[in-house]
Amino acid sequence: MACIADVLAQVALPGSTTPDLDAQLLLAKVLGKSQSYLRTWPERELDADQLAAYELLMARRREGEPVAYLLGQQGFWSLDLHVSPATLIPRADTERLVELALELGPAGHARVLDLGTGTGAIALALASERADWQILGCDSIAQAVELAERNRLAHQLVNARFVQSDWFTALTAEAFDLIVSNPPYIATADPHLQQGDVRFEPASALVSGVDGLDAIRHIVDQAPDYLQRKGWLLIEHGWDQAAAVRELLRQREFAAVQSWQDLVGHQRVSGGQWCG
């Protein structure tokens, strides 16, 4: 029989950049304990079922399956969110979009739209920070809408709701003070689609045409019909797409068009204000 210390001393995850952390998270899940428990009770022995469950999770991780899917959850902003293979895994980069939305959105009551909400990460982060904002998240995938609603209920956020819609298709002619989106923006032939965690994530949340801009073009084109005057549109995109997205916004006659950097200096979010 193996103890916690023995199991964690034999980690073999050649495809991971954080093998020790991965192993700790997976073992903690199997035991139903925290990571601090593993450090406090290294001599605790695993029974046969626990060891088998851990080894199965580790085998899946060796195949490249993301830890977030194995755990069924991922932290984002101040929230712990349920995740599933039906949605993109929330990433820390997207917290920059949340920061900008909070900075540029109205100080008081506002109506906000999150396009392609996935787990509901962006919508729920905003809802948790602005009780006087009413936030609508939409996604074309039914399972994503169900997951976002599950996350909403888990955090008891009454100022957010979710609907199934292919971008704006199912929305009524309502106007929003702010529209945010982290849409698919990877080119169809991008080699990164065959690498790392994205191999396990839904292509519909990643890929958007030959140049990766199809979804962004659609959003930029349609958003003015759903924005209040002086409302903002903010879009997350690839690190090398800022100039192209700014040009799309200018062509659609958005004002105050600009891009913002993420923590590593890449222009990761672009947006503009609708003054038409």
List the CATH number of the domain containing 28.
Answer: 1.10.8.10
Residue 72 lies in a domain: no
Q: Total domain count for the chain?
A: 2
Structural domain boundaries enclosing 212: 77-274
- Nearest Cα neighbor of 21 from 63, 73, 58 is 58
184, 156, 81, 175: CA torsion to nearest 10? 10
pLDDT digits (tens, 9 = 90+) for 136-193: 999 999 999 999 999 999 999 999 999 999 999 999 877 999 999 999 988 888 777 7
Judge whether residue 202 has pLDDT over 90: no
Residue 71 lies in a domain: no
* pLDDT for 7: 87
Are residues 219 and 255 both part of a single domain? yes
The predicted model scores a pTM of: 0.92
Are residues 157 and 233 both part of a single domain? yes
Q: How many helices (H) and strands (E) does the chain have?
A: 10, 9
Are residues 114 and 154 both part of a single domain? yes
* 8 Å CB contact between 118 and 205: yes
Residue 227 lies in a domain: yes
